[in-house]
Structure 1
Amino acid sequence: MLQDKMGRQFHYLRLSITDVCNFKCTYCLPDGYQCDSSRDFLSLDEIRRLVTAFARLGTSKIRITGGEPGLRKDLPQIIQTCKSIDGIEQVALTSNGFNLEQKINQWVDAGLDSLNISIDSLKPDMFRLITGHDKLESILRGLALARQAGLKAIKVNTVLMQQYNANQLDEYLSWLQDKAYTLRFIELMQTGDNQSFFNQNHVSGESIKQKLLAEGWSAVIRDKAAGPAQEFYHPDYQGKVGLIMPYSKDFCVSCNRLRMSALGKLHLCLFTEHGIDMRSLLKRDNQLNELCDALQLALADKTPSHLLQEGETGGTSHLAMIGG
């Protein structure tokens, strides 16, 4: 089992397969994707070797991320490969949903178990203002198709921002009442290039938590492979609410996930200074033992916590770098 010096065990890998994104979200890539690094992304064989090593070390959940993973034409093959590896119990996907309506059946047929889609407003005009694309109606149709295809674990991610969508909280909750999705409100995070935007738009998740508790929502018990969200349910709602609050006390205590960039660098935290290059150990099948040893050794350097609350963002200039 992958375990760090604090005793935290890592059942969950967030695997970026591209850093390219076609949206221009105000909080992430307001000027669009800038091609400022190699686009020699991990191949299907390299992904197979990587996931095999993690599975041998106790990882049971793979979340495929980007950039925007839907831009890779071989995404169905990547899903199928990850799902076929012994020990991998769950394959999830995080996407902006731009081609969800057209591709969801292929992804489900390939073995996809759960889906996270970003919807930063339920108002078409505000959605377009935040993302730069008029895709809201197509994404909503895609979510309905995902449910029809048999996908039960569907999450909707929303970054609440003071100057954009913070006043839509009640609208989101009303929308969730008859939909069996988990709606996750994510605190805006400070990165290397958004200091002014962060100061103007950060909304504390704690205020939302207190509102939910006051309105009769109750906490859900966490699963070992669950992500960082605190989840809540209400007897009058089909859906659940999740809060991702990286500025909250003890946020990192339950950390159970590692990140691999699309260029083969292991990131021990979303906000670390440098990734650890593992690419050279992904070239041949007979390197698996060496790769496992390298992964275990790397965990010795994982720190107890990020320093976001102190304004330290490490080497993360924007969240598309390694999939958030």
Structure 2
Amino acid sequence: MANESDKDAPFVGELVDREKRHLNYLRVSITDRCNLRCLYCAPEGRIPKLNHDDILSYEEILRLVRIGIRLGIRKIRITGGEPLVRKGAVDLLRRLVALRELEDVSLTTNGVLLASKAQEIYDAGVRRINISLDSLVPEKFAQITGYDRFEQVWAGIERAREIGFSPIKINVVAMRGINDDEILDFGRLSINRPFHIRFIEYMPIGNSRTNSRDQILTPEIQNKISMLGDLIPVENHCHDGPARRYRLAGALGEIGFISALSQHFCSRCNRLRLTADGKLRACLLSDRHEPLKELLRGGASDEALAEIFRIAVRQKAARHHLALNGSPTVNDQMQGIGG
């Protein structure tokens, strides 16, 4: 742990990379465990798991977040694996919300445990939540995720809406021949419910059971959605992610497109990622990372840890180099990176 003098160490400033991008958003994976096995995330067979001692403790995460805050981090998103499978996740959210310098603390979940935990999460101070949902058909949901848990997820979404989470974003990884026949159904969800539907282009990360042939890109998705009406652009706000936002006329919700392959948003990227095992990544679509855990557990000062943040930022590439044909890929598994 940091000593009292570390807490008031004099380093200040912002994390600005060579492309003049201000990195003020840290995504924190708190576990590599998940209670689903999605096609695009999990490989065939047994998935190796991190040992308990390899995963950052909550105190270690909080120390790194505080360092990040002193370097200009203002937004935190907790991810996994599935973050709600880790004991104490809600208490971590509460402690993050209590850090007054943070302007936004949010959560990404697959929704399986959300119905039972939504009120606790809301009471902890979290208001923004993302839920991964790739099919509205229970049988197809089971095919994609490996488990028959659609009703649990949908109950979690409805419970979150009842409690008052806003926005509720539903992340849909669009895959040809798998769920592309549901694009209009997801679009219609945004008309009658205040959900922000986010269509995400499939990205070849790690060893999964999908490949580049399954990709369906944003222009094709938009063309399908246009059958519901014109897409009216919505202005992005300071804490928005990379999605291009739109609304159908009269809709309660929104439709967004995250187009990592067809329409690179690298020039607008403001993210760093902290993995569950203590690696700092400046780009989801690159295997490059800077190790923090060893320094953290070896008695390093806050200044030494802050320098790792600066190194990661200095090494952040101008853009990723994934091609539409799926090569080269990212070797690390999505569940350990945090998406």
The answer to whether the superposition gives a TM-score over 0.5 is: yes
Asked if the contact 1:116/1:156 (under 8 Å) is kept, the reply is yes
Question: After TM superposition, where is structure 1 displaced by more than 6 Å over at least 4 residues in a row?
Answer: none
**Are 1:98 and 2:112 matched, yes or no?**
yes
**Are 1:204 and 2:217 matched, yes or no?**
yes
Asked if the contact 2:184/2:224 (under 8 Å) is kept, the reply is no
Aligned pairs for 1:170-249 (under 5 A) are 170-194=184-208, 197-212=210-225, 215-249=229-263
Q: Secondary structure at the match of 2:64?
A: helix
1:284 offset after TM fit, Å? 9.0
Match of 2:10 in 1: none
Q: Secondary structure at the match of 1:183?
A: strand
Match of 1:322 in 2: 337
Q: Distance in 2 between matches of 1:180 and 1:186?
A: 19
After superposition, the Cα gap between the structure-2 partners of 1:285 and 1:64, relative to the gap in structure 1 and judged at 3 Å, is farther
Asked if the contact 2:207/2:331 (under 8 Å) is kept, the reply is no
Q: Secondary structure at the match of 1:97?
A: coil
**Are 1:82 and 2:134 matched, yes or no?**
no
**One-letter amino acid matched to 1:84:** A
After superposition, the Cα gap between the structure-2 partners of 1:197 and 1:297, relative to the gap in structure 1 and judged at 3 Å, is closer
Q: Distance in 2 between matches of 1:154 and 1:175?
A: 12
Aligned pairs for 1:1-324 (under 5 A) are 1-31=14-44, 34-39=47-52, 40-194=54-208, 197-212=210-225, 215-283=229-297, 287-309=301-323, 311-316=327-332, 318-324=333-339
Q: Distance in 2 between matches of 1:282 and 1:172?
A: 43
1:280 offset after TM fit, Å? 3.5
1:158 offset after TM fit, Å? 0.8
Count of residues in correspondence between the two structures: 322
1:172 offset after TM fit, Å? 1.4
1:281 offset after TM fit, Å? 4.1
1:190 offset after TM fit, Å? 1.3
Q: Secondary structure at the match of 1:309?
A: coil
* CA deviation string 1:273-323 (max 9, x = no partner): 23211113434998223322321232111110111126222433x321211
1:135 offset after TM fit, Å? 1.5
TM-score normalised according to structure 1 size: 0.93
Structure 2 residues not aligned, in runs of 5+: 1-13
Measured on the aligned residues, the alpha-carbon RMSD in Å equals 2.0
* CA deviation string 1:137-177 (max 9, x = no partner): 22212112112222112100111111211011111122221
TM-score normalised according to structure 2 size: 0.89
